[in-house]
Chain A
Amino acid sequence: MSRDWSQIDSMLQGIERYNPDNIPILEEYVQYQINENKYNLDANLALLKLYQFNPNHFQTLVTAHILLKALTNLPHSDFLLCKFLIDHTRMESEGLLSKIVDLSDLLERCQFREFWHLLKRDNESYKDVVSHVKGFENGIIEFILHIVSKTYQTIDFNELKEILGDLSNDELDKLIRLKSWKKQEDNFVFVANHEENIKTKNIVEKIKFEDVSSVISTTIRAQVAL
């Protein structure tokens, strides 16, 4: 079952990256990533590129897996990088892909309540696909926690619960401990102290030596010439 994936690296170097013979193994590697909760953007982009160069090899399901993995790596712009390589008519016509684009759009806009709502809606074919991607929801939760910690000093406990997709109180308490945040008595959660870092800056003029070095050297030259 376990395969030696170290050979992948050599497939991504130089001209070998464009070799269509590598498509099957790269596809297998995507499957491995979703099963084992691993991630390799470089390899996935190489596969998308091979699809771009050889459109008849295109596989919707593999592409969907790559896109979902890219979402778990937010706030990095991986999803954007993938999108540039995928034919947009395909993105719009394939139901599965267009759904994932909708999900990404909500995440990128930080409309997290709507995101969880769409994700958990019943009878959607993509639910099955998403459930195969191990660690998908955790990846999204990590992203939300990251962006909350950048934005809030304190956040309402219930609000936090909602944007994390209605976690139970216990689960949320666990997360708060894990992040060393602190639940306060007024039902707000203390996230991080921003007062120190986000302050009005006054930029005063500083003159570096390099700025004036050109003037000095020409002046010296002029002096010598005299």
Chain B
Amino acid sequence: MYHQDSIENDYDYPYYQQDAESDVRVVIDLDFERQQQSYKMNDAVKSFITHFYRSIQNAKIFEITHDYEYGWNMLSEQYFKTTTWPSVESIESMIPNESMKSIFLILYKEMYFRHIYASLQGGPTLEHRFESYRNYVQLFNAILSAERPLDLELPIQWLWDIIDEFIYQFQSFCQYRAKQVKKGTNAPPNVVEEIQMLKQNIDVWNVHSVLNVLHSLVSKSNINKQLEVLKHATLSLTIANPSGNIDQSQFSKHQQELLMDLENDLFAQSSLYKMLGYFSLVGLLRLNSLFGDYYLAINAMQFVELDIHKQLLIARVPSCIITTCYYVGFAYLMMRRYEDAIKVFVDALIYIQRTRTMLQAPTRSLLNDMISKQNEQIFYLLTIALNFYPMRIDDSINSYLKEKYSERLLKLQRGDRDELVNMFHYACPKFLSPVPPNFEGVTDQYLMEPYNQQLKVFLDEVNQQLLISDIRSFLKLYTTLPISKLASFINKSPEELKSILLCFKHKMSNIESDQVSEEFRSSSEVDFYIHNEMVHIADTKVATRFSDFFIRQIQKTNEINTNLKMVPI
């Protein structure tokens, strides 16, 4: 009886966890609590679930957002820190038999599993993973097989989280499977049993199914057509027509056809489908990067404008924007498009810097950790890119970089291979093999193979460019320099030197991001040409920028002023 009382008390007294004495008790009670859960549910949770359902049923987007972002996290923190939320079966009876019931239960289950992945000690079990996958299949089937768009409205953050989590769980499953299979036949019986299960369920979390979901969402929502139209629309809005009306007469025939198609397409008009389609594009970018297919990764984004302000117009979801920039920049870096990579990274870092304070809500600590890590990863990648391709970047990012990463940059410049590999290892995505492991025996390398593959090709590229930075540092010192003299500086024959100079030009030419006009250009700090056995060098001299400094100070003063005004005197 004592136990039961204590649970009741806990619920009535939300702050009890701060009490050191009762902390101990909680741990002991956990198992018991779990047993109790099925038939006994706390009122706060009960009323939350009912309210949540009502908000969704009545499409009250503001309340859904509140429940989703605040209510769920708060209750998770309070009651389900180390245990699962009540199972779907146990809440089923609370939801009236209405048309929204089934989709609500699926959505609830999606969050239920997401909570398990994020909080349960020891991670999700194989059963959880299978069940979660089946729930995703149900969810996407409901969305994709509908003849008319589902009458469902969800906050875009939630839609992003669904796609994001779907890919994350796929990634996590691949790693888990490889790890279990590696344990092999000498493993304890329960693991052997699991391996058997994995073998029999090869269709679960199958790569083709995952890709199929993303591609289907993209085509169902017609998102690429929508983005194409939007691009032209904003163009004509900003340039030709300041009044704000879209003047259709300025559209080409092709664009008008697109527009007609979209007007007749109910799915394209539904915000649920549109946003899921958009996030699926980001999903494809990510998944293709994980397989090392950077061409297809960038291709998935061909209609998305990467400028952050334009991304914000479509989806105001910070984690989506940061993820997009991270993967696009990484793909560019691997494709030798250094200048584009640097621009994307810098944009992302500025964005993180500006929105940081906004993001630091206490209920979003998990999100904060993730963004901190991504922030650091992007800084690493930027450092690597700048080592390949020194160029001028935003002052504030530059000074932060100098302050925190100058040691690393210096090591890279000295050609420290270990440092480069370490940085790459920390900052790169967790590459995957699209092929399931051979169940008869996995080599030790299987897990690391996809990573080694990408690292190897990346290092080949690094080796080819090894001497370029040496040459660059010499060139910086001169305006003209005879070939023979430069050759003697680096102990090479004039012939060898000329190869390096040609290589310099070759590797530093970047393909312009605008795919219409694929021109090669270079805005590297140092440029040169060879004329009659003489190297002529052009440097870039930059005058100090004062405006940034002043603007920042003015903004700071303004902020202080506003804050001062709010102080009651």
List the interface of chain A (C-beta within 8 A of B). Answer: 14-15, 17-18, 41, 45, 49, 52-55, 75-77, 80-81, 83-85, 87-88, 105, 108-113, 147-148, 150-156, 159, 188, 194-195, 198-205, 207, 211-212, 214-215, 218-219, 222
Assuming the contacts A84-B293, A151-B501, A203-B542, asked whether A76 and B511 have C-beta atoms less than 8 A apart, the reply is yes
B296 contacts the other chain (Cβ, under 8 Å)?
yes
7 closest cross-chain pairs (CB), A and B: A110-B502, A194-B529, A153-B531, A84-B292, A110-B503, A15-B215, A14-B215
B499 contacts the other chain (Cβ, under 8 Å)?
yes
Give the distance to chain A from B538, nearest Cβ to Cβ, in Å: 5
Give the distance to chain A from B358, nearest Cβ to Cβ, in Å: 16
Assuming the contacts A200-B540, A205-B545, asked whether A154 and B532 have C-beta atoms less than 8 A apart, the reply is yes
Assuming the contacts A81-B295, A110-B506, asked whether A15 and B211 have C-beta atoms less than 8 A apart, the reply is yes
Residues of A within 8 A of B453 (CB): 84, 87-88
Closest to B466 in A: A109
Picked from A52, A88, A112, the residue with its CB within 8 Å of the CB of B434 is A52
Assuming the contacts A109-B464, A113-B495, A153-B529, asked whether A198 and B292 have C-beta atoms less than 8 A apart, the reply is no
Residue pair A205, B503 in contact (C-beta under 8 Å) = no
Residues of A within 8 A of B218 (CB): 14
Residue pair A151, B546 in contact (C-beta under 8 Å) = no
B461 contacts the other chain (Cβ, under 8 Å)?
yes
Give the distance to chain A from B388, nearest Cβ to Cβ, in Å: 13
Give the distance to chain B from A155, nearest Cβ to Cβ, in Å: 7
Residue pair B211, A222 in contact (C-beta under 8 Å) = no
Could you tell me the distance between the alpha carbons of A214 and B548 in the complex, rounded to whole angstroms? 12
Closest to B544 in A: A205
Extra 5 A-B pairs, beta carbons < 8 Å, given A15-B215, A153-B529: A55-B435, A77-B511, A108-B503, A153-B530, A195-B531
Residues of A within 8 A of B500 (CB): 109-110
Residues of A within 8 A of B516 (CB): none
* B 426-442 to A, binary, CB cutoff 8 A, 1 in contact else 0: 00000000110000000
Assuming the contacts A75-B506, A152-B531, asked whether A84 and B435 have C-beta atoms less than 8 A apart, the reply is no
Residue pair A200, B530 in contact (C-beta under 8 Å) = no
Show 21 residue pairs from A and B whose CB-CB distance is below 8 angstroms, ordered by the A residue.
A15-B211, A15-B216, A53-B207, A53-B435, A75-B509, A84-B293, A85-B293, A110-B506, A112-B499, A150-B509, A151-B505, A153-B529, A155-B530, A198-B528, A200-B541, A204-B543, A205-B543, A211-B547, A211-B551, A219-B554, A219-B558
List the interface of chain B (C-beta within 8 A of A). Answer: 207-208, 211-212, 215-216, 218-219, 291-296, 334-337, 392, 434-435, 452-454, 456-457, 460-461, 464, 479, 495, 498-503, 505-507, 509, 511, 520, 527-533, 536, 538-548, 551, 554-555, 558, 561
Residue pair A88, B547 in contact (C-beta under 8 Å) = no
Picked from B335, B520, B547, B561, the residue with its CB within 8 Å of the CB of A222 is B561
Give the residue among A54, A84, A148 with the most B Cβ atoms within 10 A. Answer: A84
Could you tell me the distance between the alpha carbons of A215 and B454 in the complex, rounded to whole angstroms? 46
Residue pair B457, A84 in contact (C-beta under 8 Å) = yes
Could you tell me the distance between the alpha carbons of A153 and B530 in the complex, rounded to whole angstroms? 6
Assuming the contacts A52-B291, A75-B506, asked whether A88 and B457 have C-beta atoms less than 8 A apart, the reply is yes
Could you tell me the distance between the alpha carbons of A207 and B4 in the complex, rounded to whole angstroms? 69
Could you tell me the distance between the alpha carbons of A18 and B293 in the complex, rounded to whole angstroms? 13
Could you tell me the distance between the alpha carbons of A84 and B290 in the complex, rounded to whole angstroms? 11
Residue pair B454, A84 in contact (C-beta under 8 Å) = yes
Residues of A within 8 A of B212 (CB): 15
Give the residue among B507, B532, B543 with the most A Cβ atoms within 10 A. Answer: B532
Residue pair A198, B529 in contact (C-beta under 8 Å) = yes
Residue pair B457, A80 in contact (C-beta under 8 Å) = yes
Picked from B461, B498, B542, the residue with its CB within 8 Å of the CB of A80 is B461
Assuming the contacts A155-B530, A200-B539, A211-B547, asked whether A111 and B509 have C-beta atoms less than 8 A apart, the reply is no
Residue pair A88, B503 in contact (C-beta under 8 Å) = no
Residue pair B541, A198 in contact (C-beta under 8 Å) = no
Residues of A within 8 A of B527 (CB): 198
Residues of B within 8 A of A207 (CB): 547
Picked from A14, A151, A201, the residue with its CB within 8 Å of the CB of B530 is A151
Give the distance to chain B from A221, nearest Cβ to Cβ, in Å: 9
Residue pair B295, A45 in contact (C-beta under 8 Å) = yes
Give the distance to chain A from B57, nearest Cβ to Cβ, in Å: 34
Give the distance to chain B from A18, nearest Cβ to Cβ, in Å: 6
Could you tell me the distance between the alpha carbons of A52 and B433 in the complex, rounded to whole angstroms? 9
Assuming the contacts A84-B292, A105-B464, asked whether A77 and B335 have C-beta atoms less than 8 A apart, the reply is yes
Closest to B533 in A: A156
